[in-house]
Structure 1
Amino acid sequence: MSDSGPGHPVRRIGILGGGQLARMMALAGVPLGFHFDILDPAEDACAGAAGRLVRAGFDDADAAAELAGQVDVMTYDFENVPATTAGAAAGRVSFHPCVTALDACQDRLAEKNLLTRLGIPVPPFHAVDGRTDLLEAVDRFGYPCVLKTRRFGYDGKGQAVLRGPEDLEHAWQELGDHPLIAEAFVAFDAECSLIAVRARDGRTGFWPLSHNLHDAGMLVLSEACIAGGDLQAQAEDIGNRLIEHFDYVGVIAVEFFVTDGRLSVNEIAPRVHNSGHWTIDGAVTSQFENHLRAISGLPLGSTALDRPSVMFNWIGAMPDAGELLGLEGLHWHDYGKKARPGRKVGHATLVLPDEQQLGKQAQALAARLGGAWPDRWSRFSTARGRLAGD
């Protein structure tokens, strides 16, 4: 396996996956002098606008290995790349984050078992391999509880909330063909995530916690968190344990439930993450730039908050930029994707000098957008107050 060391500076970076995360990685890397080769089966993969697109299936280990032979280091932009494909690439070139982290985070049951072994708090869970297991889980947790596929679920897909006995059969018909996990329902005060980075030399960085709001399982709002230092310290302790366990290199995201001032882990994403998009415009160094610095052996940049920031996630279709770009502090990100229900097509970040101005401007933006946005901002603001201890 080749490895770019001090005498072999990284110039070409390969990425498995050509979605918006790969696109934003490449956009962050061009000013650093990097060139990108991106493997994706889609002809219109949006990262192709920022690098050379190699069309191949994610299960094509030979194509991944061939690409690995043409670049200096490889990474990926989503965690459902098969471990066999990642392993084929890792056999030829330096590959970060490591395949063991990718593999561990592809199965929710394996992930929860790992977190438990590391002494990291998680909601109670129960493996479901048949109807009997499901009934045992319901008897253990009561209603409501959550049934999820162990693999491939994201953005609310592959899961169902069981609110009563009448939901059991429908959920089983929808999900029962897959290995499953049941989890106790968490009546959380807020949702947060930690974006962390570790360099090849072992140095680490942590951005301020992101406070998040999901709607129908998809992230719609995220901000640089105004929570107290205790939550940040809890999150960084958990992040450090995971980083050390995997001997991790690159960016990792850990999603949390916040309940009575304590954190429990919902899931891990061994990659750059949607809830860290605000770092592009609101942090000294973005998650994307620091991921590239880490995997290529460059020094990390500062993860400090530059100015208060909140991200609006565009799902399904882009709003009219002409109607919104006049708002002070608004930064626009169009992923170049075709509109489609449930698809992440872009985001906007508001960046303003202080929290009070940011809150007023975000409320104004939500009102201008209309639809579900005013209610989303209201719920988000209520959770903000809980995090701030109001």
Structure 2
Amino acid sequence: MPSLSEETGGSASTLMPGATIGIVGGGQLGRMMALSAKYMGFRVGTLDPTEDCPTAQVADFQIVADYDDTAAIRALAERSDVLTYEFENVDADALDAVRDRVAIPQGTDLLRVTQNRIAEKTFINDHGIATAPWAPVNSRAELDAALEKIGYPAVLKTAEGGYDGHGQIVLHDADDLERVWSDDGFPPSILEGFVDFAYEASILVSGNGEDYVTFPVVRNIHCDNILHKTIMPAPMDADMQRRARELAVALAQGFELAGTLAIELFVCADGTLIANELAPRPHNSGHYTIEACDFDQYDLHVRGICGWPLAQPQALTPAAVMVNVLGQHVGPTRAAIPEHPEWHVHDYGKAEAKHNRKMGHITVLTDDPERTVAELDATGCWADITDR
């Protein structure tokens, strides 16, 4: 088995090519992570309950099991030199149980914080970073009290679980309280006040536990709580970009980050930056980096967890536009491919194209993002979104 330059307490300082990276999770993020790792000479294994999942199609082996299967995670650990995870809903206790056998440079503190919205908001605020006004709520009475303080409109979110809008109830006025859970089924939750923002953005930061680098700030456009487009760069002046980078590095330092962390932001008209959510791994809004940067978010995730040095990533193009391909867009985009040599097409290899399921993405490098967005819209491939 390839050796580590140093090994202390189950964490590696430098892992060399030929070693094995075990990825817990087998979706598209793991797939792109694995492809990056393979270019660097690593072997890759994945654990996922779906046989022939997207990551397994490009990995060296797959263990077919649920994410909380401790025996399966141990089996992956025994075949790996380092473990990482490609999404949040991984059993942190199961990972802790194998830390005596394999390095887990991301650790599980990062996972636990980002799995729980109360812990996440607290961590962000404790590092001097603004969030939307929020309060923990565990009952209808606590919700009423929080609404008196925060007011309408607001959004009620379960503290754990949920993605792309799942586990959320938007409360515009008292009539919407009819949709709220009763006390006998009220999960631990938070109430967040709405933010009057100009646009949504995100920034990625990567680290190796000691050094931290950031990617360009990007603008994100969502539809039905699902990311539709990412535009690089975000329309920010130099001061706002600097503050976004400082915010990202402060959070990375707080976690002693190894790998890539995504920070979703609200950008207010007065230039205020408000942190919305954290993702403890590469992120949908960072897919553009594959073509648009000299090191992409997956490269630096792999380098970070393997203890390699990190270079500040540089944009290779003035601008880029990334658009998601959901299930309903697969047919139209495939039909349009012959007419668009400028498209960088990524297909995730998922067996079934379902409505609103992320099936792939397309990136276009450009010097005029507004023109490129208009050209993408004009294809009609995303008419269900762009015609609204």
Q: TM-score, normalised by structure 1?
A: 0.90
Where does residue 18 of structure 1 map in the other structure?
26
For the 8 Å contact 1:224–1:305, the answer to whether it is kept is no
Of the structure 1 ranges 168-177 and 239-248, higher mean CA displacement relative to structure 2 is found in: 168-177
1:280-328 Cα shifts (integer Å, max 9, x gaps): 1111111011111111122324411111111001122423324134325
1:156-180 Cα shifts (integer Å, max 9, x gaps): 1110110111110213259953211
Kindly provide the amino acid, as one letter, of the partner of residue 102 in structure 1.
L
Q: Which runs of 4+ in 1 moved over 6 A?
A: none
Seen in structure 2, the aligned counterparts of structure 1 residues 223 and 361 have a Cα distance that, compared at 3 Å, is closer
Seen in structure 2, the aligned counterparts of structure 1 residues 320 and 177 have a Cα distance that, compared at 3 Å, is same
SS at match of 1:49: coil
User: Is 1:83 aligned to residue 92 of structure 2?
Assistant: yes
User: Is 1:64 aligned to residue 73 of structure 2?
Assistant: yes
Q: Aligned ranges for residues 191-340 of structure 1 at < 5 Å?
A: 191-200=200-209, 202-225=210-233, 226-259=235-268, 260-307=270-317, 308-317=319-328, 318=330, 319-337=332-350, 338-340=352-354
Higher helix share: 1
For the 8 Å contact 2:140–2:182, the answer to whether it is kept is no
Where does residue 187 of structure 1 map in the other structure?
196
For the 8 Å contact 2:18–2:41, the answer to whether it is kept is no
SS at match of 1:89: coil
For the 8 Å contact 2:135–2:146, the answer to whether it is kept is yes
Where does residue 107 of structure 1 map in the other structure?
116
User: Is 1:343 aligned to residue 357 of structure 2?
Assistant: yes
For the 8 Å contact 1:250–1:291, the answer to whether it is kept is yes
1:51-98 Cα shifts (integer Å, max 9, x gaps): 111111111122212211211111000011011122123332111312
Gapped regions of structure 1 (runs ≥ 5): 377-390
The Cα shift of 1:361 comes to 2.7
Kindly provide the amino acid, as one letter, of the partner of residue 334 in structure 1.
D
For the 8 Å contact 1:284–1:301, the answer to whether it is kept is no
Let me know the Cα RMSD of the aligned residues.
Answer: 1.9
Q: Aligned ranges for residues 29-40 of structure 1 at < 5 Å?
A: 29-40=37-48
For the 8 Å contact 1:144–1:162, the answer to whether it is kept is yes
Kindly provide the amino acid, as one letter, of the partner of residue 179 in structure 2.
H
Identity %: 37
The Cα shift of 1:263 comes to 0.5
Kindly provide the amino acid, as one letter, of the partner of residue 363 in structure 1.
A
Distance in 1, matches of 2:56 and 2:68, equals 19
The Cα shift of 1:334 comes to 0.5
SS at match of 1:112: helix
Seen in structure 2, the aligned counterparts of structure 1 residues 85 and 304 have a Cα distance that, compared at 3 Å, is same
User: Is 1:372 aligned to residue 379 of structure 2?
Assistant: no
Number of aligned residue pairs: give it.
372
Where does residue 362 of structure 1 map in the other structure?
373
For the 8 Å contact 1:149–1:175, the answer to whether it is kept is no
Distance in 2, matches of 1:137 and 1:148, equals 13
Kindly provide the amino acid, as one letter, of the partner of residue 289 in structure 2.
T
The Cα shift of 1:181 comes to 0.5
Q: TM-score, normalised by structure 2?
A: 0.91
1:225-250 Cα shifts (integer Å, max 9, x gaps): 24212222122211122111111111
Distance in 2, matches of 1:252 and 1:282, equals 18
